[in-house]
Structure formats: structure tokens, C-alpha cells
């Protein structure tokens, strides 16, 4: 019984290590055929959801856990990238780095309470958070896997 428990712990540890190795987080993906983040809105057109593999520069990361990141688009816009089923996180110190991520792009209306929560995670002041009073239409992304370059 003791050997079975040890074997199970070893397998679980190996799987956990594979889920977040070096520069890969979540599902193992490659950089092949990734489109630039700035090209995604045009590629989506009128679609509200689309599978994609995207490359872009990180503008900021959730400083609580690394549970989301903002990736630069054109015209000073950003896209919030969340991680499927809250199943993995990215390092909090990857601002300015290039990332490749694969999953589902979505056009959504983000409720005020979520926007306020994101602002709190980003370290904004109570005054800044209180100014968030309207929902916002955003391009978001649910990533299955991420590569930090």
C-alpha cells in the first residue's frame, strides 16, 4: 500500500510539472501558425467567438496570482487573456514579454463587478475602482495553453 501511494504521488508530481514547465503553461502548444494579436479583431469580423492561436506582447499581469494577462492590440487597446477553467497561471513578472497562446477568442460585455475585480487584482486604488460604473464591451481570450518567449 505504501508503494502504491508513493507511485501515485510520483505520477501526480510529474503531471503537475508538465502542466507548467519552464516557459509553457497549461496545455502544451507550439508557436506554429500563430497570428499577431493586432490581426485578431479583423480576423474575427462579425463572429462573437473563434478558435485561434495568437502572439502578442504582455502589457500587464494579475499581480495576485497571475490568473490573467492583458495583451496589446492596436490603437492602445488590450485583450484580456484568461486561462481555461482557472487551470493554470502565468508568472507575474512577464510584462513586456512576447507570449503565444491558443484557445477561444470571444467578444463579450464585461459586467462592472468583474471590471472592478480586475482593477483590484491589477493593484488600482479604491478611488480608481470606484470610477468603474459601466460595463464594457471587450475582446477576451480563454487560453488552453501559453508559451512565454
Domain-by-domain residue ranges, the chain? 23-148
Using DSSP, state whether 66 is helix, strand or coil: coil
Name the strand (E) or helix (H) holding 9.
Answer: helix 2-19
**Lowest mean pLDDT segment, chosen from 46-55, 68-77, 93-102:** 68-77
Label the pairing between strands 24-26 and 136-148.
antiparallel
Distance in angstroms (rounded) separating the CA atoms of residues 20 and 77: 29
Check: pTM over 0.95? Answer yes or no. no
The answer to whether residues 89 and 25 touch, using CB atoms and an 8 Å cutoff, is: yes
Residue 121: its pLDDT value, please?
Answer: 81
Radius of gyration, CA atoms only, the chain = 17
| pLDDT tens-digit readout, 12-58 | 544 444 444 579 999 999 999 999 999 999 999 999 999 999 999 99
Domain 23-148: CATH class, spelled out: mainly beta
Amino acid at each position: 500500500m505504501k508503494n502504491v501511494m508513493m507511485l501515485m504521488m510520483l505520477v501526480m508530481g510529474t503531471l503537475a510539472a508538465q502542466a507548467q514547465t519552464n516557459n509553457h503553461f497549461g496545455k502544451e502548444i507550439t508557436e506554429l501558425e500563430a497570428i499577431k494579436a493586432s490581426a485578431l479583431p479583423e480576423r474575427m469580423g462579425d463572429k462573437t467567438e473563434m478558435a485561434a492561436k495568437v502572439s502578442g506582447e504582455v502589457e500587464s499581469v494579475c499581480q495576485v496570482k497571475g490568473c490573467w494577462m492583458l495583451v496589446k492590440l492596436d490603437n492602445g487597446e488590450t485583450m484580456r487573456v484568461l486561462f481555461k477553467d482557472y487551470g493554470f497561471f502565468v508568472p507575474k513578472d512577464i510584462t513586456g514579454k512576447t507570449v503565444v497562446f491558443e484557445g477561444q477568442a470571444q467578444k463579450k460585455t464585461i459586467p462592472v463587478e468583474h471590471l472592478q475585480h480586475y482593477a483590484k487584482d491589477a493593484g488600482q486604488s479604491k478611488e480608481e475602482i470606484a470610477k468603474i460604473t459601466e460595463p464594457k464591451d471587450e475582446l477576451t481570450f480563454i487560453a488552453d495553453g501559453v508559451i512565454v518567449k
